[in-house]
Amino acid sequence: MLKSPVPSETASAPAVNPFFSESTLPYHAPPFDKIKDSDYAPAIEEGMKNQLVEIEAIANSTETPTLANTFEAMERSGALLTRVTKVFLNLTNANTSEALQKIKSDEAPKLAAHADAIFLNAKLFARVKTVYDTRDALKLDPESRYLVERYYKTFLRGGALLSEADKETLRGFNQEEAKLTTKFADDLLAETNDGAVVIDNKADLDGLSDSDVAAAAEHAAEMKLDGKWVLALQNTTQQPAITFLTKRGVRERLYKASVSRANHGGDHDTKSTVTRLAQLRAQKAKLLGYPDHATFILDDQMAKTPG
């Protein structure tokens, strides 16, 4: 369903951008051999623009709201944005680069604003609510009924019932949260890379397998540290190598490097970012009628309540 809004094909966009046409590969797999970093931002921008045109057409329709012309139409909207964001967001989570991080930093607040433009669209929500309020009389099959109910709740959680003033406040919260969550991820990645433990003596790697020692040597070579070994940090607090290293001092170095990430001052310290995110999320939850962020999140999950 339309959880992270996403837009459709375009006739005006340059044909050289591989995202502007559907992939012909099996299962529509992305044609990575044709995709360049410079393709992402134009495709995202065009995708957002296209979807808003589609959404406005749904919202301004003079037809009586139905499952087909409202919910299914929203489901079909956003082919282009869906196509590019599926690739881009997965790639930035798995194999990012400075160029991709810059694009994500630029586009994150725009995508947040794009989502707000959909979920805070009063005319669109009125059509959603009309179908939701008459769902019993419509005798929908279980799947269709669930789709209607999920969309309705998603709109409520997106602020559809707020006053115009509160909607504007929510937009500000969402913009800032998008920027800060991107900044947090970038800072954590930088700290993870910078916190790798450099080993001068191969004997200090006692306990590791031959393949792990080779990987440490390869990592050092990539960093142009000839004759050394580097234990890269994993994106968890507990580092797997600690289980096998026999030398206490090396284990301690690795552990401290892991737990002190982004928490020792400097350009990538995340304490202020985390503090502001906590404040933002608390304010957003209260604006939407919840006592705190945990209650807001869990209300839409299996646990239902923090208790």
CA of residue 276 relative to chain centroid, distance: 18
Give the length of the chain: 307
CA distance 190 to 297: 28
CA distance 23 to 14: 16
Q: Please check whether residue 74 lies inside any domain of the structure.
A: yes
Helix H, strand E, coil C: the string for 201-264 is CHHHHCCCCHHHHHHHHHHHHHCCCCCCEEECCCCCCCCHHHHCCCCHHHHHHHHHHHHCCCCC
Tens of each residue's pLDDT in the chain, 307 residues: 554 444 444 445 445 899 999 999 999 999 999 999 999 999 999 999 999 999 999 999 999 999 999 999 999 999 999 999 999 999 999 999 999 999 999 999 999 999 999 999 999 999 999 999 999 999 999 999 999 999 999 999 999 999 999 999 999 999 999 999 999 999 999 999 999 999 999 999 999 999 999 999 999 999 999 999 999 999 888 899 999 999 999 999 999 999 999 999 999 999 999 999 999 999 999 999 999 999 999 999 999 999 9
151 close to 128: Cβ distance less than 8 angstroms: yes
Residues 156 and 204 in one domain: no
- Number of domains the chain contains: 2
What lies within 8 Å, CB to CB, of 175 at 6+ separation is: 109, 112, 113
Residues 42 and 150 in one domain: yes
Residues 220 and 133 in one domain: no
241 close to 234: Cβ distance less than 8 angstroms: no
Domain span holding position 116: 18-161
Residues 202 and 102 in one domain: no
Q: Please check whether residue 134 lies inside any domain of the structure.
A: yes
Residue 199 carries which DSSP code?
A: E
Final residue of a structural domain among 218, 238, 259? 259
CA distance 160 to 116: 9
Residues 251 and 144 in one domain: no
Final residue of a structural domain among 222, 238, 259? 259
Residues 98 and 204 in one domain: no
